[in-house]
């Protein structure tokens, strides 16, 4: 039996690269990035693997990791794989009830903990988790509850493996790992219903690595990746594993809120991200352009126009740009594009995989215009991430790329995207009914996403279950509108309301700082944010911006009325999933009075839409 790549990846890379850095993480006391060489990575994984044996962790046993991104998450992963155990990551922001559900559902005995927040959440439900035996805490600064007599700190845990007393058994287990063994169980956060554990096996990862070795051959051991999306999410998890497989240096960003600072310090060549990251970049650039002098503003806008023509109208299509266009592009490449990319921290860019939600055309065009190789893709936890992705030059703005080799895709009569292939999960952990509902008799996995194929490119049109039907019988895709409107610098979050209503409305969370700056410029006085967001001039500002952005939509699809909310949607309130997707039913319930008032006022004014 051939050894599975993930069980021996760190050991093989250590033999190849020695003390070359495999990882980096930031020490916030000294404000420096600490390298971890491949040999050190290997040493810690071996210690942790032996410590797991000392704790009597069994083969194919489920081990939980409840932490923000830390190198220790990866050490634990690879130590578990060496023992033929299964790792289950929990989102660092999970509530105590979510922790309790997953621990009990997966019968977790050992839960690895990140920082104080995760410790407090887990300890509060420890007594309600029948199988939970012990917690291992990564961060030494975590204050343990006086009643906690069992938890170990990470260094205490590693002491159990000192001298590698169980290495012979670890080696035996490693040799027994089969491609059909479970490797991860990833619980989907779920916009509706309880979480489901997606079972991913070595065979799933083997195939996704095989495919990406060809598709992303430009990723090498000279690249630097910044890891800032949660390692709980399949996109970042599979990407990080793949980077390690390719020998790419992985810089672990421990604090999500500081990603902009990390970008400028690390200067990554590659990084997987979500559209919201690029929306913030886009908004920041256009904010800067708006505040420039008329001459510089005209120059920067011309640079974007030239970049679009050069990269999208010619290079993308394999055509040679005219000489004058090439000269202009070269000038801007050394000046405006270079300055812009250096300011963000992406001047060394190779390519940047982007997925997790719909990406607006404007964002894609902007990124490629300035020479940022945004590689848009589409995938799910159930497909071990990638279903489709842009090829370096053969891509279409608006699509989510070409289907990866070896994966079958078809569109059924309801426009739903169906998948079949070696990267697809074989089901949900201990949920035979949910598994049966997700797969049809021919083995096709039903994604729940609507879309279509055209000239080999896949296009998304929304979620099947999230298509709204107005009381006039018209179908609305809320995601399409939301994606379009959130490129506006004044809009932070938005929830489209339309289901069984006479017209489309929206709940909008504005960027409060920008609204306050606008109020100051217009001499608008106010006593509270609630008062400011109801001011006629502020409402007129948003109305004008919304009207401009939604011109491409049919009249019945356009937002007719909106309310500016004085607080954002949040995970704490249950309105967002751990991956920041809207839980529409919860939003509708929490803001029922606000929504009802929108339509009551319209009826009272006898508006006809």
- Are 476 and 458 in a shared domain? no
Residues 489 and 497 sit within 8 Å (Cβ to Cβ): no
- Are 301 and 450 in a shared domain? yes
Residues 387 and 403 sit within 8 Å (Cβ to Cβ): yes
In a domain, 485, yes or no: yes
- Are 578 and 546 in a shared domain? yes
Phi (first) and psi of residue 342, to 5 degrees: -70, -35
Quote the CA–CA distance of 324 and 331 in Å, as a whole number.
11
Tell me what pLDDT residue 500 has.
78
Tell me what pLDDT residue 555 has.
85
Q: Is the pLDDT score of 163 beyond 60?
A: yes
Burial zone of 579 (CB within 10 Å; 0-12 exposed, 13-18 middle, 19+ buried): buried
Helix (H) or strand (E) holding 435: helix 432-438
pLDDT band, very low/low/confident/very high, at 187 (cuts 50, 70, 90): very high
Residues 76-88, mean pLDDT to the nearest whole number: 98
In a domain, 184, yes or no: no
Residues 239-261, mean pLDDT to the nearest whole number: 95
Q: Is the pLDDT score of 189 beyond 70?
A: no
608: left (phi over 0), alpha (psi -120 to 50) or beta: beta
Residues 70-77, mean pLDDT to the nearest whole number: 98
In which residue are the tokens 């319209």 written?
602
- Are 329 and 244 in a shared domain? no
- Are 108 and 17 in a shared domain? yes
- Are 380 and 281 in a shared domain? yes
What is the DSSP secondary structure assignment for residue 424, as one 8-state letter?
S
- Are 479 and 544 in a shared domain? yes
Q: Which of 463, 493, 520 is the last residue of a domain?
A: 463
- Are 454 and 553 in a shared domain? no
CA 343 to chain centre: 23
Q: What six digits make up the tokens of 554?
A: 């049919």
Residues 505 and 478 sit within 8 Å (Cβ to Cβ): no
Q: What is the pLDDT of residues 530-547, one digit of tens each?
A: 999 999 999 999 999 999
E-strand ranges in 381-444 read 385-389, 402-403, 408-411, 416-420
Q: Which of 264, 298, 330 is the last residue of a domain?
A: 264
Quote the CA–CA distance of 135 and 103 in Å, as a whole number.
12
In a domain, 493, yes or no: yes
Longest dimension (CA), the chain: 80
In a domain, 209, yes or no: no
* Residue 578 CB partners (closer than 8 Å, separation 6+): 91, 93, 94, 189, 230, 232, 571
- Are 364 and 402 in a shared domain? yes
Q: Is the pLDDT score of 221 beyond 90?
A: yes
Q: Among 528, 501, 512, which residue's Cα sits nearest to residue 607?
A: 501
Residues 44 and 75 sit within 8 Å (Cβ to Cβ): yes
In a domain, 410, yes or no: yes
- Are 325 and 450 in a shared domain? yes
Q: Is the pLDDT score of 144 beyond 80?
A: yes
- Are 453 and 488 in a shared domain? no
Domain count, the chain: 3
Residues 506 and 497 sit within 8 Å (Cβ to Cβ): yes
CATH (domain of 595): 3.30.300.30
Q: Among 371, 509, 515, 398, which residue's Cα sits nearest to residue 452?
A: 398
Domain containing 321 equals 275-345+351-463
Tell me what pLDDT residue 194 has.
76
In a domain, 126, yes or no: yes
Residues 252 and 24 sit within 8 Å (Cβ to Cβ): yes
In a domain, 225, yes or no: yes
Tell me what pLDDT residue 325 has.
97
Q: Among 233, 269, 282, 302, which residue's Cα sits nearest to residue 94?
A: 233
In a domain, 183, yes or no: no
Strand, coil or helix: what is 557?
A: helix
In which residue are the tokens 């050190």 written?
40
Residues 415 and 451 sit within 8 Å (Cβ to Cβ): yes
Burial zone of 314 (CB within 10 Å; 0-12 exposed, 13-18 middle, 19+ buried): middle
- Are 251 and 362 in a shared domain? no
CATH (domain of 49): 3.40.50.12780
Q: Is the pLDDT score of 415 beyond 50?
A: yes
Q: Among 256, 191, 280, 286, which residue's Cα sits nearest to residue 491?
A: 280
Residues 333-343, mean pLDDT to the nearest whole number: 93
- What percentage of residues in the chain have a pLDDT greater than 90? 78
Angle in degrees, 0-180, between the axes of helices 38-54 and 71-82, rounded to the nearest 10: 60
Quote the CA–CA distance of 129 and 107 in Å, as a whole number.
8
Quote the CA–CA distance of 547 and 544 in Å, as a whole number.
5
């Amino acid at each position: 039996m051939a050894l599975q790549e993930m069980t021996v990846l760190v050991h093989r890379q250590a033999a190849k690269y020695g003390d070359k850095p495999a990882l980096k993480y930031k020490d916030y006391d000294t404000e420096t990035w600490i390298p971890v060489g491949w040999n050190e990575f290997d040493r810690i994984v071996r210690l942790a693997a032996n410590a797991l044996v000392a704790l009597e962790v069994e083969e194919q046993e489920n081990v939980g990791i409840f932490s923000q991104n830390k190198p220790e998450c990866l050490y634990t992963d690879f130590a578990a794989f060496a023992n033929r155990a299964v790792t289950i990551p929990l989102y660092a922001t999970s509530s105590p009830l979510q922790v309790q559900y997953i621990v009990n559902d997966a019968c977790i005995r050992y839960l690895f903990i990140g920082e104080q927040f995760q410790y407090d959440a887990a300890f509060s439900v420890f007594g309600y988790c029948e199988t939970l035996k012990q917690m291992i805490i990564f961060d030494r600064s975590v204050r343990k509850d006086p009643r906690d007599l069992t938890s170990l700190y990470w260094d205490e845990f590693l002491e159990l493996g000192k001298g590698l007393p169980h290495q012979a058994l670890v080696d035996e287990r490693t040799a027994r790992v089969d491609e059909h063994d479970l490797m991860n169980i990833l619980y989907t956060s779920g916009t509706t219903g309880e979480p489901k554990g997606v079972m991913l096996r070595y065979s799933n990862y083997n195939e996704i690595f095989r495919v990406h070795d060809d598709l992303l051959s430009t990723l090498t051991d000279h690249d630097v990746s910044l890891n800032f999306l949660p390692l709980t999410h399949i996109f970042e998890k599979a990407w990080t594993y793949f980077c390690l497989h390719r020998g790419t240096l992985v810089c672990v960003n421990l604090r999500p809120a500081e990603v902009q600072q990390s970008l400028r310090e690390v200067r990554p060549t590659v990084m997987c991200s979500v559209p919201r990251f690029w929306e913030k970049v886009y908004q920041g650039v256009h904010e800067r352009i708006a505040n420039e002098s008329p001459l510089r503003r005209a120059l920067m806008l011309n640079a974007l126009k030239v970049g679009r023509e050069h990269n999208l109208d010619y290079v993308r299509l394999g055509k040679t740009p005219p000489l004058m266009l090439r000269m202009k592009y070269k000038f801007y490449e050394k000046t405006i594009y270079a300055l812009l990319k250096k300011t963000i921290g992406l001047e060394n860019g190779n390519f940047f995989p982007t997925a997790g939600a719909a990406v607006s055309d404007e964002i894609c065009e902007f990124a490629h215009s300035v020479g940022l190789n945004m590689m848009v893709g589409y995938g799910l936890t159930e497909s071990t991430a990638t279903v489709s992705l842009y090829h370096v030059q053969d891509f279409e703005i608006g699509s989510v790329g070409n289907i990866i080799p070896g994966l079958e895709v078809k569109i059924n009569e309801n426009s739903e995207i169906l998948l079949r292939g070696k990267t697809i999960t074989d089901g949900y952990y201990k949920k035979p009914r949910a598994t049966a509902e997700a797969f049809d008799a021919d083995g096709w996995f039903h994604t729940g996403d609507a879309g279509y194929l055209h000239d080999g490119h896949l296009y998304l049109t929304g979620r099947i279950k999230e298509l709204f039907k107005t009381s006039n019988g018209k179908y609305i895709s809320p995601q399409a509108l939301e994606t379009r409107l959130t490129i506006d610098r004044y809009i932070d979050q938005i929830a489209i309301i339309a289901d069984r209503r006479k017209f489309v409305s929206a709940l909008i969370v504005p960027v409060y700082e920008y609204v306050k700056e606008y109020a100051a410029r217009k001499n608008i006085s106010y006593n509270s944010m609630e008062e400011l967001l109801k001011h006629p001039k502020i409402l007129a500002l948003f109305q004008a911006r919304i009207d401009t952005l939604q011109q491409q939509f049919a009249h019945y699809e356009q937002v007719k009325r909106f309310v500016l909310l004085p607080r954002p949607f949040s995970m704490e309130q249950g309105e967002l999933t751990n991956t920041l997707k809207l839980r529409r039913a919860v939003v509708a319930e929490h803001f029922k009075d606000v929504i009802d008032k929108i339509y009551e006022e319209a009826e009272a004014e006898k508006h006809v839409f």
